[in-house]
Every structure is written in C-alpha cells, then in structure tokens.
Amino acid sequence: MRRKMIGFEELTPLSEALEKLRRYMTHRITETEIVSLEESHGRILAEDITATISIPDLNRSAVDGYAVIAEDTFGATPNNPVTLRLVGKIMAGARPDQLPRIRRGETAEIMTGAPLPDEATAVVMAEHARQTNSKVEVTRQVTPYQNVSRMGEDYPAGSIIAKKQTRIMPWHIAALAGQNITSVKVLRRPRAAIISTGNELVMHGMKKNVGEVIDTNRPMLKALLETSGAEPIDLGISPDSTEELRSQIMKGLSRADMVIITGGTSIGETDNVPDVVSSLGEPGIIIHGLRIRPAKPTGVGIIGGKPIFMLSGFPVSAYIGYKTLVEPCISMMTGTRMPPPPRIRGRLTRRVAKPQGIRAFVRVRVRREGESYIVEPMMLTGSGLLSTLTGGNGILEIPEMLEGHDEGEVVEVEITQPLEGD
Amino acid sequence: MRRKMIGFEELTPLSEALEKLRRYMTHRITETEIVSLEESHGRILAEDITATISIPDLNRSAVDGYAVIAEDTFGATPNNPVTLRLVGKIMAGARPDQLPRIRRGETAEIMTGAPLPDEATAVVMAEHARQTNSKVEVTRQVTPYQNVSRMGEDYPAGSIIAKKQTRIMPWHIAALAGQNITSVKVLRRPRAAIISTGNELVMHGMKKNVGEVIDTNRPMLKALLETSGAEPIDLGISPDSTEELRSQIMKGLSRADMVIITGGTSIGETDNVPDVVSSLGEPGIIIHGLRIRPAKPTGVGIIGGKPIFMLSGFPVSAYIGYKTLVEPCISMMTGTRMPPPPRIRGRLTRRVAKPQGIRAFVRVRVRREGESYIVEPMMLTGSGLLSTLTGGNGILEIPEMLEGHDEGEVVEVEITQPLEGD
C-alpha cells in the first residue's frame, strides 16, 4: 500500500480552516439578475433599496375615531367631557383635496387609514368619545399627533429600506411593494457542481448489483444547496479514474462557483481526489484533514480563487463537512450572513466522551419533558449511519478543549428537525 | 357611529385561542400526490417509508486497511506485531461472489466500502499495519466487527426510515435514495386563499392616487405561506362591500383549505369582515380580539371546519397574527410539528414595559458584542411600521403575567434575520 495510507500529516482546526478559506477563496458572486418582487423571496439584494415615496405618504389616522385639534381636548375627562361640533366624516381612501376643514371646536369622524385634514393634529379614539347628532363629547384628552401615523414615520423618502446583500424576507417584500416596486435586482444564485466518486457507486433509480452502493450524497447535497440558496449542477458519478475526475472537476470549475466532491478524499489507494486537485493549479490544496469528528478526511482546494470541497463519501461526514465549510463559504461568496440555527438547552441523559483537541458533532435526540428538554446522545462515530440524522433531531457540537460532557449536564444543541414530546 | 365601535367585548388569551382553533378546526389535509424524490424536499410524507433493502446490504469495511479474522490479531502491539499472509486485495464495488477467501493467519487488503469476505470478522486500519511483499505486520489488535459496517446496522430491512407526516429533510432524501426510491407520496400542500380588504387599497404595480394605499399584505403573506410550505391562492383586493366580500370568502372556502383576510377586522364602521364571516354558517366566529399586542383585532371564524383568519390590515399585526395563529394552524392541518425557531439570549439595553394580562411581541435589534448579545428594544406599538421588521432582527415575546423587563435583564429573543456585529 502506498505511503499516503499512513495517515493525515497534520489536521487543521476548524477555525483555522475557515480562516484559510476566507484568505484564499477570492471568488465572489457579482453577476446580478432581475426577478419579479413575488419571486424574490430568499434572494440576495444586489443594490440598496431607497424609499422614493414616504410611508405613510401623508398623515393618516391610526385608529377609528375623531380628528381633532389636540388643544381642543386638553382637560377632557369622562366627568368633564369637551364637546366638539361634528363637521364631516372621512373614510379610508378619501382624496386629501376633498377633506372637511377642521376649525377650533370642530371635529370629523375618521376611519383607520384615512387621511387627516391639514388642520387636525390628533385623533380621539372612538372608545373615548360619544356622538349625538352633530355633537361629539370627548372624554379623554389627546396630545398632538396621538393616534396619527405621521407622514414618513415608517420610511421617510430617501431613507434606506434594505441594504445591498440583504436576504429578502417576507417583510422586505411588503416594504418594497409599498414603494410600488414590482421587480428587484438580486445576485444570481451561487452555483455548485457536485461530483460523487467511487467505482462502487450507482445512481438511485438504476439497477444495483450486489456489492454496489447507491450514491446518496448527490441527492442530499442538492437539497442542502437549495436550503443555502445555491443552485446545484449535477455532474454525476465519476469513476476512480484520474483522467475522468480531472476532466469533471475542470468542467465544474468552468460552469460553477465551487465544486463539491464526495468520496475518494481520504488517504487510501483509490483516494485520488487530493492528487488530482493538487495538479490543477495554485494554491491547490489548502486544507486536508480537519480536527473534527466526524468528517476528519474533509479537504479544500482552491483553483483560480474558487473552492473545491473534498467531502467524505460517508453521508454523515459529508453533511458535517457541508455545514462547517460549504455553507459558510456560500455566505462569504455572496457577502451575506446566515441567521443562527435553532438551538435548545437540555440535560444530557448520559455522559459523552470525545478526544481532546478534536471538535465533535454528536448526533442527539432531544425531547421535551414538561418545561425542560432531555438530550439523548446517539453517536459520535458512525459517520456512515444516516439513521443518526433521520432518527435524531439535533447536533451537539463539543469544542476542542473539552473532553466531553457529564451525564445530567445542561448542553446547547442545534435542532435539525421538530422535537418530540409534549 | 355604531355601537360596535365601543370596543372588543372580551379579548381571548393566545393559548385559549389556539385551544379553540384546535377544537373547531376539523379540516385536515388528506389528499396526497406523488413527487420525484428530488422535488420532495420540505414536503410532508404521506406514508411510512420502510427499508426494503438492509443498509449496508452486506458487511463492508469502514476503513482502508486489512480484512482479518479478529482472533488472529489478539495481543498485537507495535513491539509485538502479528504477521499475516496477504492473500488478495478487495476494492470498493467488488462482487461479493468473487472475494478472496480468508483463512486463519491470512489477510486481504481492503478499501473503504468494499465487501468483507464471509470468513473475515474485522478490519485492521492501514495505519496499524505494515505491508512488505506478501506479508502484513499488524501492530494493534482488533475486536470482532471493529472497523466493519455491519449489514443492516444503518437500516435493517423492515425498519422504518421515516414516519408518515415527517417533513422531508436532506438526510431523508439520502436515506430514501439508498432504498432506490425515486418518487414519494406526500401530502398536497395546504392552500390558503388571501383577500385584502379596504377601499383605499391598490395593488402594487398599479397607478396609485394620492390618498390611496398600496396593499403590502398580500405579497408578504404569499412569502410567509411559502415559508410554511403552503400554497397561496390570491383573491386580490376586495372593496368594503358586504356582497363582494361574502362572495370572495365563499370562493376562498371552496378553493382553499383556509382563508386569510387582512383589514376590516376591527370594530369600526367599515369593518364588516366579522359580520360577513358570522353570516356564513356555524360555528362562525370563534375568536375576535386577542390578548396580544400588536394584533389585538385578530379574529378567527370557522365554516365547515375550515378556518377564516381575520388579520389586521396593519402589516406588523398581520405578521404577528400569521405567526401566532396561521402557522400553528397549518401544522394542525397537516399533522406535523415545526422545528423551534432560532432564539438567542441577550441583555436588554433598556427597560421594556407592557400592560399586564397582554402577551407582547416587541420588535428588537440584536447585535453581538464579543461573546454575548445585546438586545435593543425597538417598539411594542407601531403595528403599522414595517420598518420595525425590516430594520429589526428579532422578536421578544413577553408573556401575559409579566409587566415587562428591566434594563440589563437577560431575555430570550426569536431571531428573524441575521445578527449584526462581530
């Protein structure tokens, strides 16, 4: 067996790996595209959006009630109401140039959202007024601009509604619609070419002979990329042939912003991915072997500023490699941040041990018991066991300096699926 | 002004509202559809998925190394290695009927994922062996089945991989692919008809006259429904006319699993939504007015077991109404749970006061400072201010029994957008 089977020469801590990725991965998504506002959900803004219309575009009533000159109500109480003369009624959608004029001692009935007449400075809520014929008794005083949505108080014209590189959320869509915007310039989605390697692999849906293994990584990676807002380019299964692999990686680099290879990344005889990546250019491989478990054999190469992720063929390792390196890389490439994942604090049902100096990702099962949570560790090893992901619902990340956690200790767990219990 | 402007007669606490919804909302999604595995991400399984193939389908090596009969290695150490005779080499993808036979005192080189010969019971890692010509010196003993992925250890044939009503995640797709499954039966998406009401509303992209307001709720609700895995049916803007509204709600009930109306749900003169919903059948309105802020005027009607959500026209209130009632309702209808939202604990920059007896949803801005988080409250009121959602990144929910939180208090905040800082 060749010397490279001896072991990884040096394992890189995860924080250092991310630092290296940040330093060498110079490729950025700069191309933009125009999408309709309703298709923009989850996309990344490619420009600042500035309000051209003040929102509200004029002073509007925030309640159903009576438009007044605030001073007229001063001192009003239920026992000592102020009586005003009713001079009109203003419905939502009324034209501002057709509103009743309000003078001192006068009021107009007004609906929520309706424009406030120029002279009026506040609105008395309907609950604090009694209307009889053409008189209104006000039973509570209002201060100037009370119950009024003032022009521009939400977004004054000229203010920034959302900055470039914002991930468009439902409320951004609402705010942009309010500006009468119907289409928006966004970054094109990052593209990731996916290659599975291994002579034993067959694609799902194809005839599988005994001894062969169905490739489960490409379908999983496609779904993960979708979650990250990226677009997969499926380059299929590449046999463990140096030439074939080289040509597929080159194809990936030319079509996509990154290449993700699963399998063949370790130090075995047929693990030729690192050699092929090294041969493609500078700087070549920047990381090979991580101080994490699972996913130790993960590597990263950089060619022309674009990353080539070499993930383990074992599905759990591939998943952890994706979450720890590929997902952060997509954020770097688009200049965005991800919101934090859901986490929960719960009590461990038993001790979890791990080697010091290694960052561990323990699959766990979290369930609710009354007001607290119970965390049952499943497996630290078993990087081939998808059942630890499908049957679990959380990941307990244990940093390098710890040797584990004791039974009964309260730990923070990242939640991957709905919780059981209660 | 009519008597209904006096105020809500009785406000329902949120927990009681959800209880009522659970009791009266009897409609369930039972229709199913077949989608391809790759399109199934995020959908809800409509049947249990049982393994028909054991995974692994035979004993496989979990490492690169040497297949052995475990007993042969007992007592091996670097200083006292055990020497075995090399009788072959097994690559990943090898046919199980063409493997070398291993007898006592013999070994075969084996690659990760390759089938283990019947007689072999363990694998020595390459790092713990030295190969010279046809001899292998084993320097560490292995126990039976060490470094072996045993047949069925991930999913034995007959075991359940994922239960009915599971939301399909990337790892489920991988596990299903491993069963050579190419399509899957899922629940059809819940459909929600959306109606905006208000004579002042115009659709975004249309000409807006002074005094008119662009409807921002429908585009926001469409994006929110997408997030919840539901399908919007856009019924547009309905004027404040009883007949028109009635016919639109009826259309919504016939086409969709629920109707969501924004605007016209309060107690003002033009707030005719509750009256119309009441007139449609039994039990009619089950909730009108919630003990929450914002979104107090939220209501729910039930007709034929289907819910009609009456949300405020104010965008922040509509959002809170959606999160507190519509989203849980979608889970009830599909028999699923949602994973918990991301939350973070941080220190309040200033006091937040709220009335006792009301559950408050305060928009906040969270930023990281070193290793901890700072929570800056934005607004409890301002239910019309979308800028509290676009400019904030979290919601601080304060339960009924509290009067607020003090400056410096550590609170838990639901995160809605990426954090700032660091």
Best of B3, B5, B57, B112 to substitute, by most chain A Cβ atoms within 10 angstroms, is B112
> In this predicted structure, what is the pLDDT of residue A3?
39
Question: CA-CA distance, A172 to A195, in Å (whole number)?
Answer: 36
- CB contacts under 8 A, B 326-345 vs A, are 336-344
Q: Is residue B422 part of a domain?
A: no
pLDDT at A250 > cutoff 50 = yes
- CB contacts under 8 A, B 288-317 vs A, are 313, 315
Put simply, the answer to whether A219 touches B37 (Cβ < 8 Å) is yes
CA distance B332 to chain A (A): 14
Q: Identify which has the larger pLDDT, B39 or A211.
A: B39
Element (H, E) at A334: helix A327-334
Are B293 and B212 in a shared domain?
yes
Put simply, the answer to whether A416 touches B339 (Cβ < 8 Å) is yes
pLDDT at B4 > cutoff 50 = no
Per-residue pLDDT tens over the stretch B156-189: 999 999 999 999 999 999 999 999 999 999 999 9
What sections of A25-109 are H helices per DSSP? none
Q: For residue B386, give the nearest of A131, A171, A267 by CB distance.
A: A171
> In this predicted structure, what is the pLDDT of residue B339?
85
Per-residue pLDDT tens over the stretch B19-42: 999 999 999 999 999 999 999 999
The band of A1, judged by pLDDT with boundaries at 50, 70 and 90, is very low
Partners of residue B153 in chain A, C-beta under 8 Å: 385
Q: For residue B315, give the nearest of A37, A161, A174 by CB distance.
A: A174
Per-residue pLDDT tens over the stretch B214-225: 999 999 999 999
The band of B93, judged by pLDDT with boundaries at 50, 70 and 90, is confident
Are A48 and A24 in a shared domain?
no
Q: How far does CA A314 lie from the centroid of its chain?
A: 26
> In this predicted structure, what is the pLDDT of residue B3?
39
Burial class (CB in 10 A: 0-12, 13-18, 19+), B234: middle
Highest mean pLDDT among A203-217, A266-280, B10-24, B256-270: B10-24
Partners of residue A109 in chain B, C-beta under 8 Å: 1
Q: If you measure CA to CA, which chain A residue comes closest to B268?
A: A64
Are A97 and A164 in a shared domain?
no
Domain count, chain A: 4
Q: Identify which has the larger pLDDT, A83 or A8.
A: A83
Q: Is residue B71 part of a domain?
A: yes
Residue A288: CB partners within 8 Å, gap ≥ 6?
A8, A12, A265, A274, A297, A299, A300, A310
Q: Is residue A420 part of a domain?
A: no
Q: If you measure CA to CA, which chain A residue comes closest to B109?
A: A1
Are A214 and A319 in a shared domain?
yes
Are A21 and A42 in a shared domain?
no
Backbone Cα Rg of chain B: 31
Partners of residue B167 in chain A, C-beta under 8 Å: 417-418
pLDDT at A75 > cutoff 80 = yes
The residue type of B144 is P
> In this predicted structure, what is the pLDDT of residue A269?
66
Contact call for residues A399 and A352 (beta carbons, < 8 A): no
> In this predicted structure, what is the pLDDT of residue A4?
45
Are A392 and A363 in a shared domain?
yes
Report the CATH number at residue A172. 3.90.105.10
- Residue where a domain stops, chosen among A149, A178, A200: A149
Contact call for residues A198 and A313 (beta carbons, < 8 A): yes
> In this predicted structure, what is the pLDDT of residue A92?
86
Report the CATH number at residue B391. 2.40.340.10
What's the rounded mean pLDDT across residues B392-412?
96
Bridge pairing between strands A148-149 and B106-110: unpaired
Q: Is residue B134 part of a domain?
A: yes
Are A286 and A323 in a shared domain?
yes
Partners of residue A385 in chain B, C-beta under 8 Å: 153-154
Q: For residue B180, give the nearest of A201, A205, A342 by CB distance.
A: A205
Mean pLDDT of the residues in chain B:
93
The band of B380, judged by pLDDT with boundaries at 50, 70 and 90, is low
Instruction: Assess B205–A contact: CB distance below 8 Å, yes or no.
Output: yes
Are A264 and A328 in a shared domain?
yes
Contact call for residues A337 and B342 (beta carbons, < 8 A): no
Are B236 and B115 in a shared domain?
no
Render the burial of B386-412: b for 16+ CB within 10 Å, e for the rest: bbbbbbbbbbbbbebeeebbeeeeebe
| ipTM given for this complex | 0.93
Question: CA-CA distance, A398 to A391, in Å (whole number)?
Answer: 20
Per-residue pLDDT tens over the stretch A319-343: 999 999 999 999 999 999 988 899 9
CA distance B105 to chain A (A): 19
A64, A66, A86, A101, A124 from A69: Cα distances, Å? 16, 10, 13, 11, 10
The band of B210, judged by pLDDT with boundaries at 50, 70 and 90, is confident
The band of A2, judged by pLDDT with boundaries at 50, 70 and 90, is very low
Report the CATH number at residue B126. 2.170.190.11
Per-residue pLDDT tens over the stretch B314-366: 999 999 999 999 999 999 999 999 888 999 999 999 999 999 999 999 999 99
What's the rounded mean pLDDT across residues B192-221?
93
pTM above 0.90, yes or no: yes
Instruction: Assess B97–A contact: CB distance below 8 Å, yes or no.
Output: yes
Contact call for residues B125 and B68 (beta carbons, < 8 A): no
> In this predicted structure, what is the pLDDT of residue B121?
96
In percent, the amount of chain B with pLDDT more than 70 equals 96
Per-residue pLDDT tens over the stretch A297-312: 999 999 999 999 999 9
Axis crossing angle, helix A170-178 with helix B217-227, rounded to the nearest 10: 160
Per-residue pLDDT tens over the stretch A342-363: 999 999 999 999 999 999 999 9
Are B196 and B282 in a shared domain?
yes
CA distance A372 to chain B (A): 14
Report the CATH number at residue A270. 3.40.980.10
Q: Is residue A422 part of a domain?
A: no
In percent, the amount of chain B with pLDDT more than 90 equals 86
Strand boundaries in A52-187, DSSP class E: 60-61, 65-68, 82-90, 106-110, 122-125, 129-132, 135-138, 148-149, 160-162, 183-187
> In this predicted structure, what is the pLDDT of residue A196?
96
The band of B267, judged by pLDDT with boundaries at 50, 70 and 90, is low
Of A21-25, B93-97, B262-266, B285-289, the least confident: B262-266
Q: Is residue A319 part of a domain?
A: yes
Put simply, the answer to whether A270 touches B91 (Cβ < 8 Å) is yes
What domain range is B231 assigned to? 3-31+190-334
Per-residue pLDDT tens over the stretch A156-187: 999 999 999 999 999 999 999 999 999 999 99
What's the rounded mean pLDDT across residues A67-71?
97
Question: CA-CA distance, B165 to B22, in Å (whole number)?
Answer: 18
What SS3 state is found at B389? helix
| DSSP type of residue A98 | G
CA distance B394 to chain A (A): 10
Put simply, the answer to whether A338 touches B418 (Cβ < 8 Å) is yes
> In this predicted structure, what is the pLDDT of residue B5?
43
- CB contacts under 8 A, A 15-74 vs B, are 37-38, 41, 55-58, 62, 64
What's the rounded mean pLDDT across residues B118-147?
95
CA distance A110 to chain B (A): 10
Are B144 and B236 in a shared domain?
no
Strand partners, B302: B284, B307
Put simply, the answer to whether A213 touches B6 (Cβ < 8 Å) is no
Q: Is residue A329 part of a domain?
A: yes
Q: Is residue A274 part of a domain?
A: yes
Q: For residue A387, give the nearest of B111, B155, B169 by CB distance.
A: B155
> In this predicted structure, what is the pLDDT of residue A210?
84
Are B39 and B180 in a shared domain?
yes
